[in-house]
């Protein structure tokens, strides 16, 4: 079976607006990550709390990135 024929409906569903929105989400997620990580390092949280804070920041950024990738196809789970 032709792989391109299977992907054609999916490729047609991607709009320019959703692509721009996804790129904006990726940039916002990167900014959030770098600013919060800089703040965590600057404050100097004790070690057990530092690991938890870093894990939470990474979790939030991963959720935002997954949402950005899903929003390209119009199926994002976070809607504002």
What is the structure's pLDDT at 25?
80
What DSSP letter does each residue of the chain carry, written as one string?
A: --HHHHHHHHHHH--HHHHHHHHHHHHHHHHHHHHHHHHHHHHT--HHHHHHHHHHHHHHHHHHHHHHHHHHTT--S---
Q: pLDDT, tens digit, for every residue of 14-67?
A: 667 777 877 888 888 889 889 988 998 898 888 899 999 999 999 988 888 888
């Amino acid at each position: 079976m032709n792989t391109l024929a299977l992907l054609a409906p999916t490729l047609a569903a991607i709009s320019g607006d959703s692509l721009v929105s996804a790129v904006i989400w990726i940039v916002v997620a990167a900014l959030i990550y770098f600013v919060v990580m800089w703040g965590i390092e600057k404050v100097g949280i004790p070690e057990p709390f530092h690991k938890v804070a870093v894990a939470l920041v990474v979790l939030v950024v991963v959720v935002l990135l997954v949402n950005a990738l899903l929003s390209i196809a119009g199926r994002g789970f976070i809607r504002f």
